[in-house]
Amino acid sequence: MKFLKNANFKRGLIVSLIMILSVGAAFGLGRLSVLMGEKEPIVIEEPPPLTSLAAALPTTTTLSVKTIPEKMPEPEAPAPSEPVVFVASRTGKSYYFPWCGIVKRIKKENLISFTSKTEAEKAGYSPGNCAGLK
């Protein structure tokens, strides 16, 4: 019985006994709660007949259908004969069409406009990276 005198063995034995007792107590309390806490059973009732649901629905229904094209058309650049307005930033070096995405980033106080390409180029601006400019 030399192993009973070993301190590590005694410590391991005590920890094991505590764990076994804890698990047993938890299991017993769980079983006890089932026995003590009997609740009313769940009752499944028949659903209401479909005829009563149909009476609650409106008799006429109007549907509106919108057709969506498979591919949205690309915005067209204006014809050269039409008057075109170009915009630029006071702090930049390029001019753009007003519908180009980069125009959204120009602050309103820095936004300037031109009525023609030549006017923009005379002011020292060059065409920006926008479809239809180059």
For residue 41, tell me if it sits in a domain. no
Compare 78 and 51 and report the one with higher pLDDT: 51
Task: Using the predicted structure, report yes or no on whether residue 104 has a pLDDT greater than 80.
Answer: yes
Task: Using the predicted structure, report yes or no on whether residue 124 has a pLDDT greater than 90.
Answer: yes
For residue 48, tell me if it sits in a domain. no
Task: Using the predicted structure, report yes or no on whether residue 12 has a pLDDT greater than 70.
Answer: yes
Phi, then psi, of 12 in degrees rounded to 5: -65, -35
For residue 7, tell me if it sits in a domain. yes
For residue 117, tell me if it sits in a domain. yes
Q: Which pLDDT score, from 0 to 100, does residue 65 have?
A: 67
First-to-final CA distance of the chain: 98
How many domains does the structure of the chain reveal?
A: 2
The DSSP secondary-structure symbol of 16 reads H
For residue 43, tell me if it sits in a domain. no
For residue 79, tell me if it sits in a domain. no
Which of 120, 90, 92 is CA-nearest to residue 133? 120
The whole-model pTM stands at 0.39
Distance in angstroms (rounded) separating the CA atoms of residues 124 and 86: 13
Q: What percent of the chain has a predicted confidence (pLDDT) above 90?
A: 25
Q: What is the pLDDT of residues 24-43, one digit of tens each?
A: 888 888 877 766 666 676 77
- Secondary element (H or E) of residue 89: strand 86-89
For residue 94, tell me if it sits in a domain. yes
Range of the domain at 106: 86-127
Which of 97, 73, 94 is CA-nearest to residue 83? 97
For residue 56, tell me if it sits in a domain. no
